[in-house]
């Protein structure tokens, strides 16, 4: 393995704190992502050895360097908290993959750090398995995300509302630098550290930006803005609700990070939230683009002094960069949803058609994933038979007929064969997503010691676009519907 420690060693000591976690009483590997381990140059046999388990559960490095807790601040539900930091997680270092890309290895649930505040630094098994399943599902869907390397039970019982088994999740990401990392220094007026962090971020994540380019911070902001316009579009396209889009969970790399109270839509509703703590629906499904822009604005505020010495010019520059978010998002969204309905070419009336379709499925309380997959079925695409699509809505089925007429009319502009369209649509509209009720069932069984539902769901989620009849695509029965998710800390 190629393990470095750049964040800990190349940056000043106020960026992170070394922590040596206590060993767990009885660490046991519950899940090990062997394909990912290989990609990262890690030998799964070694990871299963005592040394490997100490590496994954305590961050014990072969070179004996200490893992570190990263410092960051953040806006939590709009309120600024100047010091958050890794309160229950540690950065072990960076692993260079077989293809030469660098990934942070981060462990969550390793115990107290200088940033733990009132918390215990621990993580329960349920949230660790949830993160493992959902982040790996996002990866299989083709969406930028942190990934799960392993879940380890610690042998401890941790105190939440009820006593729960403790666990550690080992995850990798291009980087754990967040908007909140910039805010930590900017809030102290420490512009020098903001600049050090910005240059480190450029070097690590945006190698095409030159470090001697006087416009490099403009380029950084432009890239991050573009990546998030694309990321949030991809979330919307699969019905994903992050649930806690605080600036401390908002990456510079443009990856999905922090699978706390996240959830996927069952029934389509743009104002849907699941997170129990999101009482004001700040992070509702359809509000995510607006929040992404809000978070990018917070990043911009931190970078202002670096954009231009003259404040007014800096603000003007920042405006023109952020202004591009809306057009990028609009462009990406229309493209992706156009593909979801099977259109390859562009048509100026597409936005209208897409909005009408979404309004129809909203009124008809259709399951988001199911209706898009049904529109992508052989019957609908090859035979123009929309009977099953009609079945997806609970009322006003006549509106589906109107949509069908519009779609058929629109298809006259297309040149692809129906068979090609069918293939493309199935590769865009997943059959399987990690549905909330399935995850709850997995967690409930695992908490009682039965991990087989976890393994079968995980196996199915690896192929979200493939046809199949495993039952994992079915929307929840009324008595299975999950209304709320919790942070699980
Ligand atoms: P999150 O909601 O996971 O994004 O966490 C927000 C902040 O709370 C971060 O600074 C976490 O490190 C901290 N935190 C969450 N849970 C715990 C815990 N059990 N112990 C200590 N800190 C925690
Ligand atoms: Mg977080």
How far apart are the CA of 424 and the centre of ligand 1, in A? 41
Is the CB of 131 within 6 Å of ligand 1? no
Contacts of 402 (CB under 8 A, 6+ apart): 356, 360
Q: Could you tell me the pLDDT band of residue 483, with boundaries at 50, 70 and 90?
A: confident
Residue 489 has pLDDT above 70, yes or no: no
Compute, in angstroms, the gap from residue 194 CA to the centroid of ligand 1.
23
Reported confidence tier of residue 488, pLDDT bands at 50, 70, 90: low
Q: CB of 116 closer than 6 A to ligand 1?
A: yes
What residues contact residue 400 under an 8 Å CB cut-off, 6+ apart? 360, 364, 386, 389, 390, 392, 393
Q: Report the pLDDT averaged over residues 373-387.
A: 98
- Distance, in Å, from the CA atom of 266 to the CA atom of 437, rounded to the nearest integer, reads 10
Answer whether 27's CB lies under 8 Å from 53's CB.
Answer: yes
* Ligand 1 pocket test target in 110, 184, 489 with most atoms within 8 Å of CB: 489
C-alpha–C-alpha distance, residues 50 and 26, integer Å: 11
Which residue among 16, 21, 88, 261 is best mutated to probe the pocket of ligand 1, counting the most ligand atoms within 8 A of its Cβ?
Answer: 88
Separation of alpha carbons 110 and 128, rounded Å: 12
Residue 263: φ, ψ to 5°:
-160, 160
Q: How many CB atoms lie within 10 A of CB 405?
A: 11
Token pair for 478: 């009324």
Q: Give the per-residue pLDDT at 49.
A: 98
Ligand 2 mean position, distance from CA 353 (Å):
38
258 lines ligand 1 (CB under 6 A): yes
pLDDT band at 396 (very low <50, low <70, confident <90, very high): confident
Q: Which residue owns the Cα nearest ligand 1 atom 7?
A: 84
Please give all residues whose CB falls under 5 A of ion ligand 2, grouped by chain where several chains appear.
249, 258
Span 212-228, mean pLDDT?
98
Give 310 Cα–ligand 2 centroid separation in angstroms.
Answer: 34
User: Which residues make beta-bridge pairs with 178?
Assistant: 251
| Closest ligand 1 atom number to CA of residue 260 | 3
Cα–Cα separations (whole angstroms), residue 189 to 70, 95, 172, 377 = 19, 32, 31, 56
Spatial CA neighbour of 146 closest among 15, 58, 242, 254: 254
Mean pLDDT of the chain: 97
**Cβ–ligand 1 contact at 489 (below 6 Å):** yes
Distance 351 CA to ligand 2 centre (A): 35
pLDDT at 487: 74
Distances from the Cα of 241 to the Cαs of 92, 261, 280, 347, 362, in angstroms? 29, 9, 15, 29, 16
23 within 8 A of 58, measured Cβ to Cβ: yes
Say if residue 62's pLDDT is above 80: yes
Given a cut of 80, whether residue 143 has pLDDT beyond it is yes
Ligand 1 site, residue 181, Cβ cutoff 6 A: no
What are 317-367's pLDDT values in tens digits?
A: 999 999 999 999 999 999 999 999 999 999 999 999 999 999 999 999 999
Confidence of residue 169 (pLDDT cuts 50, 70, 90): very high
Catalytic residue among 248, 258, 317, 367: 248
- State if residue 88 touches ligand 1 by the CB under 6 angstroms criterion: yes
Give me the mean pLDDT over the 156-175 stretch.
97
* 36, 91 Cβ separation under 8 angstroms: no
Distance between CA atoms of residues 311 and 305, nearest Å: 7
Q: Which atom of ligand 1 is nearest to the CA of 84?
A: 10
Ligand 1 mean position to 87 CA, how many Å? 5
**Ligand 1 within 6 A of 96 CB?**
no
Interior CA angle at 40 toward 37 and 46, to 5°?
Answer: 50
Between CA 411 and CA 380 the distance in angstroms is 13
Q: Provide the β-strand partners of residue 147.
A: 172
Angle at 131 between CA 63 and CA 259, to 5 degrees: 105
- 155 pLDDT tier (thresholds 50, 70, 90): very high
Q: Is the Cβ atom of 262 under 6 angstroms away from ligand 1?
A: no
Per-residue pLDDT at 486: 82
Active site residue 248: yes
Any atom of ligand 1 within 6 Å of the Cβ of 487: yes
Radius of gyration for the alpha carbons in the chain, expressed in angstroms and rounded: 23
With a cut of 60, say whether residue 85 has pLDDT above it: yes
Ligand 2 centroid from CA 145, angstroms: 14
Phi/psi at 92 (5° precision): -80, -35
């Amino acid at each position: 393995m190629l393990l470095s420690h750049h964040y800990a060693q190349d940056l000043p000591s106020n960026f992170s704190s070394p922590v040596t976690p206590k060993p767990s009483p009885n660490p046991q590997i519950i899940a090990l992502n062997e394909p990912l381990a290989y990609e990262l140059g890690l030998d799964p046999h070694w990871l299963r050895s005592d040394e490997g388990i100490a590496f994954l559960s305590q961050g014990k490095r072969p070179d004996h360097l200490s893992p570190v807790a990263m410092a960051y601040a953040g806006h939590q539900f709009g309120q600024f908290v100047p010091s958050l930091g890794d309160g229950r997680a540690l950065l072990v270092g960076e692993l260079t993959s077989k293809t030469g890309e660098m990934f942070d290895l981060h462990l969550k649930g390793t115990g107290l750090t200088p940033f733990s505040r009132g918390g215990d630094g621990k993580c329960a098994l349920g949230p660790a398995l949830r993160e493992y399943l959902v982040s790996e599902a996002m990866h299989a869907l083709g969406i930028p995300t942190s990934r799960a390397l392993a879940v380890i039970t610690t042998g401890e019982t941790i105190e939440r509302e009820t006593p729960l088994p403790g666990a550690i999740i080992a995850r990798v990401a291009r980087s754990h630098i967040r908007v909140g990392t910039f805010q930590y220094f900017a809030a102290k007026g420490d512009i020098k550290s903001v600049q050090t962090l910005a240059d480190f971020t450029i070097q690590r994540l945006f190698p095409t930006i030159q470090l001697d380019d006087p416009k490099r911070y403009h380029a950084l902001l432009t890239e991050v803005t573009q990546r998030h316009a694309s990321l949030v579009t991809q979330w919307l396209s699969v019905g994903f609700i992050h649930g806690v889009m605080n600036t401390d969970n908002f990456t510079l790399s443009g990856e999905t990070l922090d699978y706390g109270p996240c959830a996927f839509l069952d029934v389509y509703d743009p104002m849907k939230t699941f997170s129990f703590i999101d009482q004001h629906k700040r992070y509702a499904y359809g509000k995510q683009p607006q929040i992404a822009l809000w978070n990018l604005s917070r990043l911009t505020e931190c970078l202002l002094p670096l954009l231009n010495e003259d404040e007014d010019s800096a603000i003007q520059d920042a405006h023109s960069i952020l202004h591009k978010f809306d057009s990028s998002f609009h462009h990406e969204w229309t493209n992706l949803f156009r593909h979801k309905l099977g259109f390859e070419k562009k048509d100026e009336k597409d936005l209208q058609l897409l909005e009408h379709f979404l309004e129809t499925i909203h009124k008809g309380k259709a399951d988001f994933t199911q209706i898009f997959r049904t529109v992508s079925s052989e019957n609908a695409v090859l035979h123009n038979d929309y009977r099953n699509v009609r079945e997806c809505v609970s009322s006003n089925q006549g509106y589906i007929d109107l949509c069908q007429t519009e779609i058929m009319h629109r298809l006259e502009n297309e040149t692809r064969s129906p068979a090609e369209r069918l293939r493309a649509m199935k590769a865009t509209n997943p059959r399987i997503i990690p549905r909330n009720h399935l995850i709850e069932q997995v967690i409930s069984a695992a908490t009682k010691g039965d991990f087989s539902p976890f393994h079968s769901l995980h196996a199915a989620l690896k192929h979200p676009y493939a046809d199949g009849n495993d039952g994992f695509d079915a929307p929840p029965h009324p008595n299975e519907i999950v209304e709320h998710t919790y942070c699980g800390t």
